[in-house]
Chain A
Amino acid sequence: MKTKTYLALLISISLLVSLAILFIPGLAESIETWMLGFLSRNAAA
């Protein structure tokens, strides 16, 4: 993939992720819950 195309894709995905977190209710909480679960599982291992 050419650098220009790659950067455009990366920026688009990042923007999409940001907008999804900001505008989909409960998504941020779900991600945080998943993160905490992931961290506690790995910390306990």
Chain B
Amino acid sequence: MARKFLTVIVQLLIALVTIPAVALATMSFENRNNDGPSIIFPGGELVSGELYLGPEPDWSFTDDVGTVHLQLDDPLSSRLIWIEESDGKIYITSDYMGTWLGRRWKKWAVQAYEGDGLAVVRINGVRYERKLERVFYSPLLDGVIEKKIAKYRSRITREAIESGETWVFELAPRTGV
């Protein structure tokens, strides 16, 4: 009797893990080619929205933007990400990069750093072609840190950046590409 009861409990537990896991995997699969990410799942190529072709914009408007869509050209996948403007330039950051699990989770950052870094960022429905350039040591980092703390109440520190725990990328213009 006790054994039978235990079997039912184990079967229920397995079902409670398996069915939601299958649902999440399916949702992730379904979203992989969408025009942009959902809040949780990465999407595909950013297709909609005007492609900005003018001179370098005044990025200070991004102070009022919570998240942007970031798409790498290789591989063609997109995700939702925070953005910080500092000293006329825009930056994105990736935390938890000091661990294997973090680098698996934030695979896009590794791909951008090891690849060509070519990307498209969609802000308020407008697409901007950019190049992700990792910033290691720069006096400009102080502004990025201050902005991220003020905007997102982040715990980012210069030590975290310099130790490789947090990766900072400038969304630089694609000059000469």
Q: Which positions in A face B, CB cutoff 8 Å?
A: 1, 6, 10, 13-14, 17-18, 21-22, 28-29, 31-32, 35-36
Contacts and interface: CB of A to CB of B under 8 A. Distances in A.
Nearest to A1: B11
A28 B8 contact: no
B140 interface: no
Which of B8, B14, B23, B41 has the most C-beta atoms of chain A within 10 angstroms of its own C-beta?
B23
Contact of B22 (A1, A14, A28, A32): A14
Given A1-B8, A6-B11, A10-B14, A32 B27 contact: yes
Contacts of B30: 21-22, 28
A10 B11 CA distance: 9
A13 B23 contact: no
B96 to A, nearest CB: 18
Contacts of A17: 19, 22-23, 26
B40 A36 contact: yes
B163 interface: no
A43 to B, nearest CB: 14
Which of B11, B15, B27, B31 has the most C-beta atoms of chain A within 10 angstroms of its own C-beta?
B27
Contacts of A29: 38
Interface string B31-46: 1000000111100000
Given A10-B14, A21-B26, A28 B31 contact: yes
A35 B39 CA distance: 11
A44 to B, nearest CB: 15
A22 B27 CA distance: 8
